[in-house]
Amino acid sequence: MSFVKSVDASDMIKTADTLFKLFAEVIEWVGSSNIVHVVTDNAANYVSIGKLNHEKYPNIFWSSCAAHCINLILKDIASMPHIADLASRASKVTVFVYNHMIFLSQLRKRKYWKEIVQPGVTRFATIFITLKSIYDHKEHLQALVVDKYFTSHKLSKSVNGKMVSSIILDSKFWDDCITTVMLVGPLIKLLRLVDADEKPSLGIMYEGMQKAKIAIKTMFRNIKSAYTPYTSILKMLWDKHLKRDLHAVAYFLNLDFFYSEGFVEKANILRSLLDLFDIKTLCDNSVAAMQDIQLYRDQKESFGRESALKAIKRLEPGEWWRLHGRSAPNLQKMVIRLLHQTTSSSGCERNWSLFEQIHSKRRNRLEHQRLSDIVYVTYNLRLQSRMHRKKKNYDPIDVQKH
């Protein structure tokens, strides 16, 4: 990841046209033929930028940040009344434990104790991670509230103490916790993958959302009235923001998925693939690339080699194509570029956060203080040296005063 440019936009009205001009400057500097994909925030003005961008540069695709999109899905799920109530009760348990050190110290003495994850304000995934963490501490918490150490303490007889004790001893609370955790588990896993900087994530996004939908339907035993409130949230945000051509094609070209039994080939995937063949900067020879697709489908030539098939699980998809896709040279070039794309702008946000640390008010104050210390020490050394030269007796306290 490389930091290219920053712009002070504090005096600008951030309309789509204004922001697009800033984006276009960078695109022209990098070269439009060198760019495959632009990922931005999910705000309405950035969505408009995507449309303007594709009109001017037809070879460049736009999508919104996948990490932000998944966070919005988790936010909507967390806002459902029964989930919000569950999270509120879990929060009350966490707050009570950490506000009373006398009980927390008892818990910390227990074998295998780990700290409970506390929910963040803006990261909605932490709400569900907290529920999982609370569930993992079920035995510790239940042992605490039935222990004489707790029941004989005056706090156990307080309103909060009685409420927290009833929550911890409520079997339905624990059943709801684990059900909710299993419900959003695939989304949390996908968020961790797309939010990381280590591996390209375009090739896993489509499959990840498919798995999340299937997991929710399975949880509710395929009863439509039960799973629809959840899948409708996924469908609304996924279709609106991320069900793009690149995601579908990357799913098709990821061998780990394509050669598995669970692969689902839909009409929109093939249509998206054919659309990409028409883009000259991605594919030099569309006819030859279509012939290469046949080799890929039938596992012929280099795609059928035993060593290549064994490497599917060990190598990143883009790296696999670079090493084993030589039988399909026209397709290989396009696939390598696609499968090395990211789907999230989180890495850039972290990069910017690090950049801000270079020049901040706090750092500037520290630098100023350090410079003052250097000047002060230098002055003292010079003063002492001058007194030595004059061969006078002096008291170090006097030097310090000077």
Quote the CA–CA distance of 194 and 199 in Å, as a whole number. Answer: 8
pLDDT score, position 385? 59
Better pLDDT: 116 or 288: 288
Mean pLDDT to the nearest integer, 287-306: 90
User: What is the residue extent of each domain of the chain?
Assistant: 1-64, 360-401
pLDDT score, position 386? 58
Mean pLDDT to the nearest integer, 318-337: 91
Classify each residue of 9-34 as buried b or exposed e, where b means 16 or more C-beta atoms within 10 Å of its C-beta: eeeeeeebeebbeebbeebeeeeeee
Mean pLDDT to the nearest integer, 69-84: 91
Q: What percentage of residues in the chain have a pLDDT greater than 70?
A: 84
pLDDT score, position 396? 43
The string of pLDDT tens digits covering residues 11-52 is 888 888 998 999 999 999 999 989 998 988 888 888 888 888
Mean pLDDT to the nearest integer, 337-363: 68
Better pLDDT: 241 or 183: 183
The string of pLDDT tens digits covering residues 193-225 is 888 777 888 999 999 998 999 999 999 999 999
Residue 103 CB burial class (10 angstroms; 0-12, 13-18, ≥19):
buried
Residue 368: which pLDDT band, with cuts at 50, 70 and 90?
very low
Residue 167: which pLDDT band, with cuts at 50, 70 and 90?
very high
Mean pLDDT to the nearest integer, 346-363: 58
Give yes or no for residue 394 having a pLDDT over 50. no
User: What phi and psi values does residue 210 have, to the nearest 5 degrees?
Assistant: -60, -45
Q: Which two tokens stand for residue 393?
A: 């007796």
Residue 400: which pLDDT band, with cuts at 50, 70 and 90?
very low
Quote the CA–CA distance of 36 and 247 in Å, as a whole number. Answer: 13
Whole-number CA gyration radius for the chain: 29
pLDDT score, position 118? 66
pLDDT score, position 239? 74
Residue 380: which pLDDT band, with cuts at 50, 70 and 90?
low
